[in-house]
Amino acid sequence: MCLLHNKGVVKMKKAQGNEQALEREQRIQEYWRSQNIFKRSVEQRKGGPSFVFYDGPPTANGLPHTGHVLGRVMKDFIARYQTMKGYHVIRKAGWDTHGLPVELGVEKKLGLSGKQEIEAYGVKAFINECKKSVFYYEGEWRKFTEAIGYWVDLDHPYVTLHNDYIESVWHILVSWSSGHAVLSELPDVA
């Protein structure tokens, strides 16, 4: 079997007939890791026009499920398509660490219900529990992301509870409210 590549024809090794799908998947993932295929695919396009892709972040305080597959596959499709068009695609992962799902999960875990019980528990202690909870399943999310072949930089994510992220959002909001931010038409990259 051969695969047409921009540098010619690449001969593909035929899958061994007795190899199980899981073994094949693990072998391919190990090859991608050992050869830094994702990193090399990004670096190969350095110098080309930029296409920055910030992943709309999941909240990692719950396990990934089949509903997440479609979203991740579509995001990966966009990034890979732009890479094939010659763009240098920065694929930045992120973690959503704010919001009601996080708070409700921690309330349930602690057996609390509502503002008064949170205040009795201690707001600072509750916030610390929320911060801990958002990364509880990070390892599972990493495995899931790798298993579906979604190429995104998980080692340098943006995290919505980090001050640099929060300050960048405040900067945008202040710029917008003071009239210094301008909306304009962006070029179509498709």
- Domains held by the chain: number: 2
* Cβ count near 56 (within 10 Å): 9
Amino acid, res. 182: V
Tell whether 69 and 117 lie within a shared domain. Answer: no
140 contacts 64 by C-beta, under 8 angstroms: yes
In terms of domains, do 127 and 39 share one?
no
Q: Are 56 and 98 in contact (CB under 8 A)?
A: no
Do 84 and 155 share a domain, yes or no?
yes
* 69 domain-assigned: yes
Q: What is the pLDDT of residue 3?
A: 43
Q: Is residue 144 part of a domain?
A: yes
Q: Which pLDDT does position 184 carry in this prediction?
A: 72
Predicted pLDDT of residue 54: 87
Residue 82 lies in a domain: yes
What's the domain range around 104? 99-133
Helix, strand, or coil here: 63?
A: coil
Examine residue 123 and state whether it is found in any structural domain, yes or no: yes
Tokens of 122: 């201690």
Alpha-carbon Rg for the chain in angstroms: 21
Q: Looking at the structure, do residues 83 and 116 belong to the same domain, yes or no?
A: no
Alpha-carbon distance values, 26 to 31, 44, 136, 170 (Å): 9, 25, 24, 43
- Tell me how far apart the alpha carbons of residues 111 and 98 are, in angstroms, rounded to a whole number: 20
What is the spatial distance between Cα 107 and Cα 126, in angstroms, rounded to a whole number?
8
Helices (H), the chain: 21-34, 37-43, 66-84, 100-110, 115-121, 123-133, 138-147, 163-177
The ranges of the chain with pLDDT < 70 are 1-19, 186-190
Q: Are residues 58 and 148 in the same domain?
A: yes
- Asked if residue 60 and residue 113 are part of one domain, the reply reads no
Domain-located, residue 19: no
Q: Are 151 and 38 contacting, i.e. CB atoms less than 8 angstroms apart?
A: yes
21 located within any domain: no
Q: Are residues 127 and 144 in the same domain?
A: no
Shared domain for 109 and 78, answered yes or no, is no
Regarding whether 142 and 61 lie in a shared domain, the answer is yes
| Cβ 143 vs Cβ 21: under 8 Å | no
Q: Would you say residue 188 lies in a domain?
A: no
